[in-house]
Chains A and B, each alone.
Chain A
C-alpha cells in the first residue's frame, strides 16, 4: 500500500488549507499543543509533549506508535477520559479542556463512541442492554433506548442474538456489539483502541470492513494501533514518538477489507 508523508505536521487541517479559509465546523477534533503529564511521587512524567492535530468530519484516521509513545494517552485525552495538563482541545466545536468531571461525562456520552481492545461489555447484562447502556446515561426512556439498541444490533447483523450474554458470543461478535454500543448515541467520533488486538486475522478483517463501511456512511473514526497493516485501512496515519507527532502520512489508496457487512449502509 502506498502512503506519502505529509509535509505539514498538522498545523492546519489539509482540507482547511486547501480551502484557504479554515472552516472550523468541519473539524471534529482540533488540538493545539496538547500536553499530558502523569503525577508520580518523584514529580510529573510527561506522556504527551504538545500534540497539535486535526480530524475532519467523516475522516478515518489511524494513530500509530511504539509502546510508550503516548498513543494510548492521546486516545484517553481525546476520549475525555483524562484531562490534558496543557494546550487546548476542541471536540466537535466544544473546548473540553475547561470542563469539569460531570460535563466531561456528558461529552463522552454525546460526542464519543468507544471501541476497546477487550470489548469491555458488561458480562451480566444481555447484549441489548449492553448496547443501550450509553442511552441510560443520556436519560432516554427505557423503551426508547431498547428500541434503538435493537435497531443498531440488527444493522450490525446480530439482530437474532438480542438476549444473549456477552459470554455466549465469539470475539468478533463481541466487538461488533461494542461497535453497536459506540454508535447508538450517534456520536461525533468513534475512538477505537486496538480494536482488532484481541481478534484473529479473519475476524480482524471483518471489523476493519465494518469500520470502512461506517466510514463510507460518513462516520468519523480514530483508531489507535501498533499494526501498520491495520493502520492502512484509514485515510491518514499519525505517527507518535515520545509524546510528539513525528510524522503524518496520507494513505493514498487505503487497503480495502473485502467483506462488507450487510446492512451497515443503512447507517447512512
Chain B
C-alpha cells in the first residue's frame, strides 16, 4: 500500500490537470451539500421561532378549544352536529367547575372569538375581535405597551372598552397615541384603553403551527361585552377557548388528563373517539412535540430531496471518473509497468473521486452558508446555521465519493498493462 500522503497528492494532481472538468463534476455535490446546509439552517431557525412562540404562550398553560361545528364538509358537519346534541360546547360554568374540581389549576382565561367588523373612523380595519376577562393578561404573560388592561368593572358592566395589539395601533393611529380614541366594532363605539406590546415571536406569522396567526392583529374587548352584544343568544355563556393556568409546568399533563375527563363527562363523550369530540385539550408542551414531529417530516422530505441531488452528483462524479480512466489509460499502463499493483491504481482513482467529493462538499458548505444568508436577507426568516449539518453533508459527500468512485477505480485497476500502454 502506498502512503496516504502520496495517494492524496496524486489524487489532487489528477484533479489539477482537468480543473474545469473537475469543477463541473463537482457541481452536483456542491449544490447537494449547499441545499442540505441551507435547508437545515432554515428548518432549525423555524424550530427556534416556534419554540419562542410557544414559550410566549406559556409552558404552564393548557388550552381547551371548542370545535366549531359549522365549519368543515357536510359529512363531518353531521357528525359534529350529533356531537353537539349532548352538550352546549364550552361554557364559563364549565371553566369554573373545572377550576374548582382540579387543584392543580390556578386560574383560567376564557376567549370568545366573534365575527365583527371594525372601523377606525371610516376606514375598515382587518382584525380579530376577541372577548376575554381581566385574567387573560396574567395567564398569557403579555405586556402592555401603553394604557391599561381590563379591570373587573369593565367586565362586570360590559363596558365598551378595548385593548388593541400593536399592528392595529400602527395601522390606525400611526404616531398618535390611541388611548382615548374610538374604534367602531359592529356599529358600536369602543374606547381604546390599552395597547399590547408586540410579540417578537411573530416575525410575520409564517408558521401556523398554533392558532396565533393573527397574533398582533387582535382587538380584545371584555368577554361580557361580547356575550351581551355580539351573540344571538344573549344569555349564553359559551366561549371558543379556555386557557387554564397550571401551578407548575410539571403538572400540566396530569391536569390535562383531569380536564379531559371532566369535559368528557359534561359533554357525554366518554366513548367518543378523540377526533370526533367537540372539544380538544392541548398542552403547550405537546405542541412543541407536535411541532418537532412536523419538523422531522419536513427534515425527512428535504433530506430526501438533498439526498437525491447528492446521488445525481455522485452519478456525475462516476461519469467523469469513467472518462478520466479511459483518457488516462496510458498513465495507468506506465504506473503498472513500474510496479503499481491493481490496488495501487484503484486507490489512486478512488482518492481522486474522494478529493472531488470532499472539495465539492467544502465548497457546498460555503455556498450553503451563502444560500442561508440570502434566504434570511430576502425573506426575513430566522435561520440557524447548524454545524452538525455541515459534518453530515461532508460525510455524505465522502460516502458519495466512495460509492460512485469505486466502480471507475476498479475498472482502472483491472486494466491490462499492455493494453493500457498501447492507448494513444
Contact = CB atoms under 8 A, between A and B. Distances in A.
Nearest to B14: A124
A76 B339 CA distance: 14
Interface stretch (A129-137, A209-217, A247-255): A129-137
A189 B38 CA distance: 60
Interface in B333-369: 333-344
Contact of B418 (A82, A106, A121, A124): A82
B418 A105 contact: no
Interface string A9-25: 00000000000000000
B134 interface: no
A185 B340 CA distance: 14
A8 interface: no
Given A136-B2, A137-B2, A79 B339 contact: no
Contacts of B342: 101-102, 105
Given A120-B330, A124-B17, A136 B336 contact: no
Interface size range on B against A = 20 to 34
A120 B339 contact: no
A245 B2 CA distance: 40
A121 B330 CA distance: 10
A108 B337 contact: yes
A109 B339 contact: yes
Residue among B334, B344, B421 with most chain A CB within 10 A: B334
B13 interface: yes
Interface of A: 76, 79, 81-82, 101-102, 105-106, 108-110, 114, 116, 120-122, 124-125, 133-134, 136-139, 141-142, 181, 185
A138 B339 contact: yes
Contact of A137 (B17, B331, B340, B421): B340
B209 to A, nearest CB: 57
B347 to A, nearest CB: 11
Contacts of B1: 139
Contacts of A114: 337-338
Contacts of B336: 81, 105, 108
Contacts of A101: 341-342
B417 A137 contact: no
Contacts of A79: 337
B5 interface: yes
B6 interface: yes
Contact of A120 (B5, B13, B333, B418): B333
Contacts of A82: 418
Contacts of A102: 341-343
A110 B339 contact: yes
Contacts of B13: 124-125
B17 A133 contact: no
Contacts of A138: 339
Given A102-B341, A102-B343, 14 more contacts: A81-B417, A102-B342, A105-B340, A105-B344, A106-B341, A108-B337, A120-B330, A120-B334, A122-B334, A124-B16, A133-B338, A134-B339, A136-B340, A181-B338
Interface string B1-43: 1110110000001001100000000000000000000000000
B339 A108 contact: yes
B418 A137 contact: no
Which among A76, A79, A124 has the highest number of chain B CB atoms within 10 Å?
A: A124
A181 B335 CA distance: 12
A173 B383 CA distance: 61
A152 to B, nearest CB: 14
The residue among A116, A136, A138 with the most chain B CB atoms within 10 A of its own CB is A136
Interface of B: 1-3, 5-6, 13, 16-17, 330-331, 333-344, 417-418, 421
A37 B331 CA distance: 26
B339 A81 contact: no
A133 B6 contact: no
B1 to A, nearest CB: 8
Given A76-B418, A124-B17, A142 B339 contact: no
Contact of B6 (A81, A134, A142, A181): A142
Pick from B333, B339, B342, B417 the residue with the most CB of A within 10 Å.
Answer: B339
Given A102-B343, A108-B338, A116-B421, A122 B331 contact: yes
A108 B418 CA distance: 13
A109 B334 CA distance: 12
B341 A105 contact: yes
B5 A142 contact: yes
A77 to B, nearest CB: 10
Contacts of B6: 136, 142
Contacts of B5: 142
A136 B418 CA distance: 21
For the complex of A and B, list the 9 residue pairs with the smallest distance between their C-beta atoms, beginning with the closest. Answer: A109-B339, A137-B339, A134-B338, A105-B341, A102-B341, A81-B417, A120-B334, A137-B340, A108-B339
A174 B341 CA distance: 25
Contacts of B331: 122
Contact of B339 (A106, A121, A122, A124): A106
28 contacts: A81-B417, A81-B418, A101-B342, A102-B342, A102-B343, A105-B341, A105-B342, A108-B337, A108-B338, A109-B338, A110-B339, A116-B421, A120-B337, A120-B421, A122-B331, A124-B17, A125-B13, A134-B338, A137-B338, A137-B339, A137-B344, A138-B339, A139-B1, A139-B2, A141-B3, A142-B3, A142-B5, A185-B339
B417 to A, nearest CB: 5
Contacts of B341: 101-102, 105-106, 137
Contacts of A109: 338-339
A109 B417 CA distance: 14
A120 B335 CA distance: 10
A59 to B, nearest CB: 22
Nearest to A137: B339
A185 B343 CA distance: 21
Nearest to A130: B334
A81 B3 contact: no
Most B-side CB within 10 Å, residue of A105, A121, A142: A105
B192 to A, nearest CB: 79
Contacts of B338: 108-109, 114, 133-134, 137, 181
A142 B3 CA distance: 9
